[in-house]
Structure 1
Amino acid sequence: MITFILNNKTIRTPEHSGMTLLDFVRYEQRLTGTKIGCREGDCGACTVLVGSLENDSIKYQSITSCISPLGNAHGKHIVTIEGTNLQNKLTIAQEAMKTNYATQCGFCTPGFVVALTGFALSNSEKNYNNALDAISGNICRCTGYKAIEKAAYQVVKSLEKHKDFNSFSWLIENGFVPKYFNDIPKRLKALEAKDINQPRGKYISGGTDLYVQQADHLADNSVHLIAEKDYLKGIKIEHDSCTIGTNSTVSDLWNHTEINSYFPNLKKHLKLVSSEQIRNMASFGGNLANASPIGDMTIFFLALNSDIIITNEHEEERVLPLKNFYQGYKTYDLKEGELLKAIRFKLPTSHSFFNFEKVCKRTHLDIASVNSAIHIYSENNLILEAHVSLGGVAAIPKYLHETSTFLKGKKLSSETILKASDLLQNEISPISDVRGTSDYKRLLGRQLFFAHFTELFPKQFTLNDFVQHA
């Protein structure tokens, strides 16, 4: 029995775990403020909040309910637009949208209001940039986005005096959320939601890729939900390495203070990955197992020369370099009954440099035309080690073996980089598709490779160093 709290109501339902949360909310509970838009997680019209109990406090995140399995709501607090309403007056987020004329047809408005409410409930710093990140997964087709940005700014100004991020009292007193939010932690504890008995079926964590492709099929067939499996969670730093459970999300990485200290530009890089709603949902394991040739985090982890830890139903483990995992288009070295358990890589040192680049047709919620990452160890102007990855240029996420090997032991100079760029072109085989022609992708691959060096070593290289070659 799937058990959770929906707004202020306790739900116990025998419905199929694989149906979407959106369909349950709209068709079983008749809460139609949560809209059906793209059914691909791209428009944000179906945004809801998910509250998860962590020790004695509750953490809220926004997700797109159209690609989230109902079973993942088990033991959680789900908040739709109806669950944010106050009696006889508008909430701060609703009032901000109204005051700034940030709505016309109103179809997208509930998603924006829920996302801004989630921002108010979050532990993130209450600044304007974070507010814009919170609504990065929401699209409006009529108002023009500036009015909505002004509404977000008004919410930020209303939050300026809020310092106690672990208490709902201030938010309730100041009109951000209704009173019942105060009781949710206690009510979630009382639920005692045990693990759902699940039949054998397709493994699903966040579901953000599978539900775009197979939502109807998954709603009717057995699924095995693994998003809450503790042995697949967590980020651990031990000695000089980092191990990330495959259930971890981009948001987990984003919010990890110690990881950010090793990667000073981490949030800048991760901002290129989808939107906040999807970053809150999508698992690293799903990104790797999706085997997309342009998977952002796959390219990220390839450049870190990561290993993957694979487990099976007998808890037997094996370790494999990620660069050897992919065998062909959408095929990889994973046997029947095996599951990706963790990703492990060496942490950057004072002599190492990491960068991630991506080109796509819009800033958020878009797959890359080409993406690339690099990790270089350099000392005294000598490249001691290099790992380069490139996406969108082959049938698999491409680790550039020959280019990486060539760079090792070479002087860090424009001549070295230009020779490596020529070698790079021999390693890739892009095809023409809706993301661009093969020639365009070759051009992007070269330019992103140059961009790594101008970004990491701005005093040593500029684009002018590579113009003649271009």
Structure 2
Amino acid sequence: MIKFILNNKNIATGLPPGMVLLDFVRYHQHLMGSKVGCNEGDCGACTMLTGELKNNELQYRSLTSCLTPLGNVHGKHVVTVEGLNMEGLNPIQQAMYDESATQCGFCTPGFVVSLAGFCLSAKTATAQNATAHIDGNICRCTGYKSIERAAAKVAELMQGRQQEEPTAFAAEKKILPEWFAGIKQRLYALVTELNGQLHSSSATEWVGGGTDVYVQKHEVLQDAAIRFLLDDEGLKGISQKGNRCIIGASATVTELGESPVMQQYFPRLPEYIRLVSSTPIRNIATVGGNLINASPIGDLTIFLLALDATLLFSNGEQKRELPLKQLYKGYKTLDKQPGEQLESLSFELPGKNTFFHFEKVSKRTHLDIASVNSAICMTMQGDTIQDVRISAGGVAPIPKLLDKTNAFLRGKTVNDPTITAAIAIAQTDISPISDARGTADYKRLLLGQLIKAHFFTAVETVFR
């Protein structure tokens, strides 16, 4: 039995936990405001919010309900656009109306829900932060400027919050319905009643955030016996042990970006994270899922390959460590045994003489899959490269470490001839194909440009 709060209503359903939240809300609760758009997490028309208790605080995140199974909202508060309704337009809807930020209206519920998520977040009330909360919503009519103006108005509504809990402030100021103020206590009662998470004793499928697997086999998963991993506390957490960072397989991309450990050792982390999909996807996409999905262009895979990450697998009885660089045996083929589950991964944190950088090129700057992505981790001894690992995606059937290029660069001085020679050698490391994201020649050109970008950034930050 799946139990959660939907807007202001307690839900208990015996429907399959693999059913996606969007289908449940539209076809079983008859709330039609959330739209069926792409069914791939790209358009944002299906955006909903989930609230859950974290360290005694109520935390809301936006998500794509077209890719979220019911099992992943067990014990949480789900908010649809109908749950934001008040007598007349609420202030978020009014801002959209005042700025002519809606035309055909198909995308509007998603924008309104995402902006409500901003109001329920602890982010500083700035127009920039409000706009960042709608980075997963696409509009084909307005050209976005009117929506950005509406977002700025919503930010103004929240500027008096200071240290007050966002939910209490939004309810008190009638930005959102007053019943939001009582959700925290209702969730306490619900979590106490559930006394643990939902697990299938006969699982045939394991699902993390579902952001890719539900695109691939939506219909298969609806009725499958699923082990839900997203909220498994044994697979969560990001910590530092000595000089290594340890990341639970179910840590989300958002949690990675918010981690104090990651922020300390990767000063440019916010700009890297912004290149990974969109806010609603980052809120549910897991680090482990990105690796096990085995996409040749997985952003976090390329990031972690350059860091020489080590994976920890378990089959329930034995544990096994495996370098990430040895995981991929061919296209979508893994060195992973049946019954094994990825528990965590770890890598050595960069020292003071180590430079790290991540680059990505895609058709859209944000909310898109890479044409080519690349990362570098380079340790310097004076002006000499002591060690280096450059990784690249979109240029081979698997996420690729550029072994020949890395071997050439070790012991070299960083200068124009070295970079030019490295780019030439990199062409022998790769075997791109032409596809929807670019021709093979274009991808070869892109990789060369990204290698240049790595070294130009290194020169600006390390050698000055």
Instruction: Tell me the TM-score normalised to structure 1 length.
Output: 0.95
RMSD: 1.5
Q: Does 1:259 align with 2:262?
A: yes
| Structure 1 segments unaligned to the other structure (5+ residues) | 462-470
What secondary structure, in the 3-state scheme, does the structure 2 residue paired with 1:281 have? coil
Q: Contact between 1:122 and 1:165, CA under 8 Å: does it hold in 2?
A: no
Give the drift of 1:197: 4.4
1:239-258 pair list within 5 angstroms: 239-258=242-261
Which deviates more from structure 2 when the two are superposed, residues 222-231 or residues 2-11?
Answer: 222-231
What secondary structure, in the 3-state scheme, does the structure 2 residue paired with 1:292 have? coil
**For 1:255-293, what per-residue CA distance to the aligned partner results, in whole angstroms no more than 9, with x for missing partners?**
123321211110001111100000001111111011000
Q: Contact between 1:35 and 1:107, CA under 8 Å: does it hold in 2?
A: yes
- What CA distance in whole angstroms lies between the structure 2 residues aligned with 1:399 and 1:60? 37
Look up the match of 1:465: none
Give the drift of 1:369: 0.6
What secondary structure, in the 3-state scheme, does the structure 1 residue paired with 2:186 have? helix
Give the drift of 1:459: 7.6
Give the drift of 1:221: 2.4
Look up the match of 2:65: 65
- What CA distance in whole angstroms lies between the structure 2 residues aligned with 1:167 and 1:298? 35
Q: State the AA in 2 paired with 1:341.
A: E
Match of 1:272 among 267, 270, 275: 275
What secondary structure, in the 3-state scheme, does the structure 1 residue paired with 2:446 have? helix
Look up the match of 2:427: 425
What secondary structure, in the 3-state scheme, does the structure 2 residue paired with 1:66 have? coil
Give the drift of 1:424: 0.9
Look up the match of 1:10: 10
Instruction: Tell me the TM-score normalised to structure 2 length.
Output: 0.96
Q: Percent identity?
A: 50
Q: Does 1:365 align with 2:367?
A: yes
Look up the match of 2:328: 326
What secondary structure, in the 3-state scheme, does the structure 2 residue paired with 1:458 have? helix
Look up the match of 1:138: 137
Give the drift of 1:220: 2.5
Look up the match of 1:37: 37
Give the drift of 1:419: 1.9
**For 1:328-353, what per-residue CA distance to the aligned partner results, in whole angstroms no more than 9, with x for missing partners?**
00001110000111110111121111
Give the drift of 1:40: 0.6
Q: Contact between 2:96 and 2:102, CA under 8 Å: does it hold in 1?
A: yes
| Structure 2 segments unaligned to the other structure (5+ residues) | none
Give the drift of 1:165: 4.9
Q: Contact between 1:56 and 1:185, CA under 8 Å: does it hold in 2?
A: no
Q: Contact between 2:119 and 2:166, CA under 8 Å: does it hold in 1?
A: no
Q: State the AA in 2 paired with 1:172.
A: A
Q: Contact between 2:199 and 2:228, CA under 8 Å: does it hold in 1?
A: no
What secondary structure, in the 3-state scheme, does the structure 2 residue paired with 1:310 have? strand
Q: Contact between 1:121 and 1:165, CA under 8 Å: does it hold in 2?
A: no
Q: Contact between 1:307 and 1:322, CA under 8 Å: does it hold in 2?
A: yes
Match of 1:307 among 286, 306, 310: 310
- What CA distance in whole angstroms lies between the structure 2 residues aligned with 1:41 and 1:390? 25
**For 1:418-459, what per-residue CA distance to the aligned partner results, in whole angstroms no more than 9, with x for missing partners?**
222221111100011111111111000111011101112138
Give the drift of 1:126: 2.3
- What CA distance in whole angstroms lies between the structure 1 residues aligned with 2:55 and 2:61? 16
What secondary structure, in the 3-state scheme, does the structure 1 residue paired with 2:138 have? coil
What secondary structure, in the 3-state scheme, does the structure 2 residue paired with 1:67 have? coil
What secondary structure, in the 3-state scheme, does the structure 1 residue paired with 2:217 have? helix
1:258-407 pair list within 5 angstroms: 258-314=261-317, 316-407=318-409
Q: State the AA in 1 paired with 2:390.
A: V
Q: State the AA in 1 paired with 2:298.
A: G
Q: State the AA in 2 paired with 1:259.
A: M
- What CA distance in whole angstroms lies between the structure 2 residues aligned with 1:405 and 1:312? 35
Q: State the AA in 2 paired with 1:151.
A: A
Look up the match of 1:468: none
Aligned length: 460
- Aligned in 2, Cα 1:401/1:4: closer, same or farther, shift over 3 Å? same
Q: State the AA in 1 paired with 2:253.
A: V
Give the drift of 1:415: 2.1
- What CA distance in whole angstroms lies between the structure 1 residues aligned with 2:157 and 2:189? 33
Give the drift of 1:105: 1.4
